Amino acid sequence: MTYRPGPFASRRRLLADEPFTDTDNAEVDGMTGIGSGKFAAEGILSDRMGLREGWVTAQDGRITGIGTGDCPVEPDVRGFILADTVNMHTHCADYGLSIPPGISLSDLVAPPDGLKHRYLRETPASILERDMARFGNDSRRNGSRTFADFREGGAEGCRMLRRSVPDAVILGRPLSPEFDPEEIDSILETADGIGISSISDMDRGYIERIADEVRERRMIFAIHASERIREDIDFILSLDPAFVVHMCEATDSDIVKCAEAEVPIVLCPTSNAYFGKTSPAARALSLGADIALGTDNGMLCHPDMVSEASVLYDVLKDQGGDPCQALRALTRVSGKILNAVRTHQVSTGPGPVTVLPSQNMDVGEALRNGGQRTSLE
């Protein structure tokens, strides 16, 4: 099908007592979409509330209504209706970087001199902003409401992304090797919080001061955890992160501690597999942890959450877990994370919405045939 990106709507504050979106029988006033004529779908609605029977209607690709229960008109298709999809972990500025074959994870992404970081330092800002905007457009037309980006480059890096994709959830990263309250202030004037590479890459005292500063402002603090090596989960959780990313090398005990602390784990199975790592998807779910999904580095993965969920489905199936949980990972936990903190505003209304047709209501089939999706705004 032919995709056409729609503009982001006005930004709004995300608070725990202010729902991320409301898909309960909503009428929608116009965002640009895809397709022509009238369209209606019914089936399983997947949104921040979980999975339930629901429907969506559209005119010329623009959503006219979405809700729960029976569709008010005769549906054109039956399948899975994905609303509130959020890509919970990205690095969008490296979208234009070509990766040499065989490069190791540390040589590629480890700060300060991994290939990615050299690329970000040496590439003109205009090129980076162009690629960020392209990433945002691709993300939106693939069905994501927004994405949570670990934005390198200090305060200016955050400003570049805000100019390029106004509705991105931006988690900035300081440039200074020592705690600089003025730099943190400058980052948080633009960003929604701070995202740290890992406790293995930075001084612990420095990380603690950053985390304290972010928490005091009720903003998002997030961190990569146990991606390359197992890291001290007790220290990580003492930072009170909104979520942790990867946990490939985590033990069962580490995952249980995340579950007990109610700290969600964002999995990036495609990116992990590229470097020979395995997302602990089935273990996380069986041990009671909440999971969400991210596509990680733009240089590695296209920002297509349906494709990422298809990979997660296969990972869960191979690991003996419930593969249908891949559908929940697209929406429910991301809304929970973003609603738990005070942050910048993002788009209102239920769009974009992705419809995955499946007459037999087979999750795996629907995700694998993601190219047959209908995208609505």
Is cis: bond before 112, omega within 30 of 0? yes
Query: Which residues share a beta bridge with 372?
Result: none
User: What token pair was written down for 221?
Assistant: 């603090």
DSSP string, 49-86: TEEEEEEEEEETTEEEEEEESS-SS--SEEEEEE-S-E
pLDDT at 90: 98
Whether 56 and 354 have beta carbons less than 8 Å apart is answered as no
Query: Which residues share a beta bridge with 86?
Result: 146
Q: How many residues does the chain have?
A: 377
- What are the strands of the beta sheet with 146-151, ordered from one edge? 291-293, 265-267, 243-246, 220-225, 193-196, 169-172, 146-151, 86-91, 296-297
294 C-beta neighbours (distance < 10 Å), count: 30
pLDDT at 235: 98
Per-residue pLDDT of the chain (377 residues), as tens digits, is 222 222 222 222 222 333 333 444 444 333 334 556 999 999 999 988 889 999 999 999 999 999 999 999 999 999 999 998 999 999 999 999 999 988 988 899 888 889 999 999 999 999 999 999 999 999 999 999 999 999 999 999 999 999 999 999 999 999 998 999 999 999 999 999 999 999 999 999 999 999 999 999 999 999 999 999 999 999 999 999 999 999 999 999 999 999 999 999 999 999 999 999 999 999 999 999 999 999 999 999 999 999 999 999 999 999 999 999 999 999 888 877 777 654 544 444 556 999 999 999 999 999 999 889 999 98
How far is it, in rounded angstroms, from Cα 15 to Cα 29?
A: 23
Ordered by where they begin, the domains of the chain are 26-83+348-376 (2.30.40), 86-339 (3.20.20.140)
Q: Taking phi first (over 0 means left), then psi (-120 to 50 degrees means alpha), and beta for anything else, what does residue 361 get? A: left
Residue 196's φ and ψ, nearest 5 degrees, are -100, 150
Q: Taking phi first (over 0 means left), then psi (-120 to 50 degrees means alpha), and beta for anything else, what does residue 217 get? A: alpha
Whether 298 and 95 have beta carbons less than 8 Å apart is answered as yes
How far is it, in rounded angstroms, from Cα 334 to Cα 147?
A: 10
Scored b (16 or more CB within 10 A) or e, 12-48 reads: eebeeeeebbbbbebebeebebbbeeebbbbbbbbbb
User: 3-state secondary structure string, 80-127?
Assistant: EEECCCEEEEEEHHHCCCCCCCCCCHHHHHCCCCCHHHHHHHHCCHHH
Q: Which amino acid is at 324?
A: C
What is the reported pTM?
0.88
Which residue in 258, 245, 183, 235 sits closest to 214, CA to CA? 183
